[in-house]
Amino acid sequence: MTQLRRLAAILPVVIAACSLPSGTGLAQQSAEPPVVAQNVEAGVFPGAIGHGAASRGGHGGRIIAVTTLADNGAGSLRACIEETGPRICVFRVNGVIRFSARPPYITNPYITIAGQTAPGGGITLAHSGGAEGRTPLVIKGTHDVIVRHIRIRPDISGNEQGSEDGVTIENSERVILDHLSVSWARDELVNGFADNDAITISNSIFAAGVPRHDKCALLASDPDGPQNLSFIGNICAHNGDRNPDINFPPESCVEVVNNLFYNAQSEFAEIWESEGGSPISLVGNVFLAGPDTHGAAIGIVRAGIAATGDGEAYLWDNGFEGDFTHIAPEVADILVDTPPCPLTVTPRPSAGLLAHLRGSAGTWPHDAFDSQLMQEIDGRGGRIGRAPSPLVQADAVAPYADADADGMDDAWETQHGNDPASIDPWADVDGNGFADFEDFLSAREATIQSGAAHN
């Protein structure tokens, strides 16, 4: 049991209802508002939330500059990933990193990949297809990993569909995936596999998986034991089913909060019971029909195949729009009035969620794909199954000045009271409780998300 879960178990409080459930599923949801954990320990960066919030990433470690888009060699992302010890990969280049050999696995713990440091349009991962065309981001057999503001767009198919997710998390703990934009995988866009725990997947866009395995998120597959996982503030769009797939053993703490699920074909959220019965809190989500959503589609389904026990479903303030079955009648048999575990976050109302996500979800700045996607969601348009657009390499943009090579923009350092002539990322000169490097990343993220000019 993680520390977070202990705290959550000790100090639950009942928050006031923030809005009434909406849509025709109203009477089918839980009767009592969610219980939210109090005094949850802060993570290493502001905005670290969920069951993975305690991930250290590379906090306190070396700042390693990625200076080339090349697959490997000095200054490559692969080289930073394969280093050992606490480390932060910062980017002095922008554009597409196309792995031509098998993409690197993150197996050494204590790493942060800080995509928001990249100049211009940021960093996109892809592969070159063929036998090496495999999942571009794999976190395997490790712990304390944070990946933020990275796009994953495999625009060329590899030979093996089964090893071609967008992101795979396998046998790992304390992982945060935040502000990713993932598309065009031929297996799941994001997939948890085997024995994971303390995972957060937040503020990301998972869109346009490749048919006929166009699936958003397989949150757990073949779990060995209970897992704690948070899926918060994400958009799943243009994926036929598994939006998301929820199949955890009893005693797991799984929360799916404030996500937008758009244009599923057959199933949106799937509650499975083949690992003994999933406990799940589905709170403040929005389920929107799109052009591919057929009338027999289901918003929240209880998947009875190979069931080995009853799940527990806590549903609150989920909103639905469109002509499909919003909540399957069978879900009523496993509905509970208290979340199986206290939520780690205070949910937003589902009303207005799209407006919020428009300014938060995905890798910033949005690329052409995400910009178009957001327009499609606004207009309830777009389709499943369009071919990937070949990635175009971006023009190089000069990075911010960082003469002391501590990852922080020297001009920001001067403004903030840090020393632009010494390596001081882990100081806390403003005494706000967060390392100044994290303050820098937060300030930079805000600048980029606002659309302001930046290097």
Decide whether 136 or 290 has the Cβ nearer to Ca ion: 136
CA 220 – CA 224 distance, rounded (Å): 10
Among 155, 214, 241, 402, the residue binding Ca ion under the rule CB under 5 A is 402
Is 404 one of the binding residues for Ca ion (CB under 5 A)?
A: yes
E strands, 128-189, are 137-140, 143-148, 151-152, 167-170, 173-178, 181-183
Among 112, 181, 183, 191, binds Ca ion (CB under 5 A): 191
**138: closest CA among 196, 64, 75?**
196
Examine residue 292 and tell whether it contacts Ca ion (CB under 5 A).
no
Number of residues that bind Ca ion (CB under 5 A): 18
Assess 214 for contact with Ca ion (CB under 5 A): no
Cβ atoms within 10 Å of 334's Cβ, excluding its own: 18
- Shortest distance (Å) from residue 16 CB to Ca ion: 32
Candidate list 188, 317, 370, 376; residue touching Ca ion; CB under 5 A: 188
- Choose one: 144-152, 179-187, 293-301, 375-383; the region binding Ca ion (CB under 5 A): 179-187
Paired sense of beta strands 279-283 and 312-316, if any: parallel
Question: Which one among 392, 432, 446, 451 touches Ca ion, defined by CB under 5 A?
Answer: 432
Q: Catalogue the long-range contacts made by 368-375 (C-beta closer than 8 Å, 24 or more residues apart).
A: 369/153, 369/181, 369/183, 369/207, 369/208, 370/181, 370/205, 370/207, 373/205, 373/207, 373/208, 373/235, 373/237, 373/238
Least Å distance between CB 269 and Ca ion?
A: 18
Counting contacts by CB under 5 A, is residue 436 touching Ca ion?
A: yes
Neighbouring residues of 187: CB distance < 8 A, sequence distance ≥ 6: 135, 161, 162, 163, 164, 165, 213, 215
Binding segment (CB under 5 A) for Ca ion, from list 46-54, 237-245, 357-365, 414-422:
414-422
Query: Of 194, 190, 52, 68, whose CA–CA distance to 112 is shortest?
Result: 52
CB of 367 to Ca ion, least distance (A): 24
Compare residues 178 and 436 and give the one whose CB is closer to Ca ion. Answer: 436
Residue 357: closest CA among 238, 265, 256, 449: 449
User: Any contact of residue 170 with Ca ion (CB under 5 A)?
Assistant: no
Helix (H, G, I), strand (E, B) or coil at 428: coil
Report the SS3 class of residue 8: helix
Stretch of 66-74, 142-150, 293-301, 435-443 contacting Ca ion, by CB under 5 A: 435-443
**Which of 105, 262, 324, 434 touches Ca ion (CB under 5 A)?**
434
**In what helix (H) or strand (E) does residue 98 lie, and over which residues does it extend?**
strand 95-99
Comparing CB distances to Ca ion, the nearer of 313 and 408 is 408
Q: What torsion do the CA atoms of 309, 239, 230, 25 make, to the nearest 10 degrees?
A: -70
Does 430 participate in binding Ca ion (rule CB under 5 A)? yes
Say if residue 78 is preceded by a cis peptide, omega within 30 of 0.
no
Place of tokens 């600048």: 447
Name the region of 54 (left: φ>0; alpha: ψ -120 to 50; beta: rest). alpha
**Does position 424 bind Ca ion by CB under 5 A?**
yes
Among 48, 298, 408, 441, binds Ca ion (CB under 5 A): 408
Residue closer to Ca ion, measured from CB, 217 or 361 = 217
Nearest to 286 by CA among 312, 251, 249, 260: 260
Per CB under 5 A, the segment of 69-77, 205-213, 343-351, 418-426 that binds Ca ion is: 418-426
Q: Residue 191: which of 154, 151, 163, 212 has the closest Cα?
A: 163
In whole angstroms, give the CA distance from residue 453 to residue 455: 7
Nearer to Ca ion, 155 or 436 (CB): 436
- 222 part of the interface to Ca ion, by CB under 5 A: no
Judged by CB under 5 A, does residue 406 bind Ca ion? yes
Of 428, 443, 447, 454, which lies in the binding site for Ca ion, with binding defined by CB under 5 A? 428
CB of 415 to Ca ion, least distance (A): 12
Q: Which helix (H) or strand (E) element contains residue 443?
A: helix 436-449
Under the binding rule (CB under 5 A), the answer on residue 439 touching Ca ion is yes
* Separation of alpha carbons 325 and 298, rounded Å: 5
Residue written as token pair 């909103």 = 319
Closest approach of Ca ion to the CB of residue 148, in Å: 18
Closest distance between Ca ion and the C-beta of residue 219, in Å?
Answer: 11
b/e string for 372-404 if b means 16 or more Cβ within 10 A? Answer: ebbebbeeeebebeeebeebeebeeeebbebeb
| Stretch of 44-52, 98-106, 356-364, 411-419 contacting Ca ion, by CB under 5 A | 411-419
Segment contacting Ca ion (CB under 5 A): 66-74, 150-158, 184-192, 194-202?
184-192
Find the binder of Ca ion among 173, 187, 255, 275 (CB under 5 A).
187
Residue whose CB is less far from Ca ion, 48 or 353: 48
Q: By CB under 5 A, is residue 241 in contact with Ca ion?
A: no
Please identify, among the stretches 53-61, 229-237, 307-315, 434-442, the one whose residues bind Ca ion according to the rule CB under 5 A.
434-442
Q: List interacting residues with Ca ion (CB under 5 A).
A: 165, 187-188, 191, 402, 404, 406, 408, 410, 413, 419, 424, 428, 430, 432, 434, 436, 439
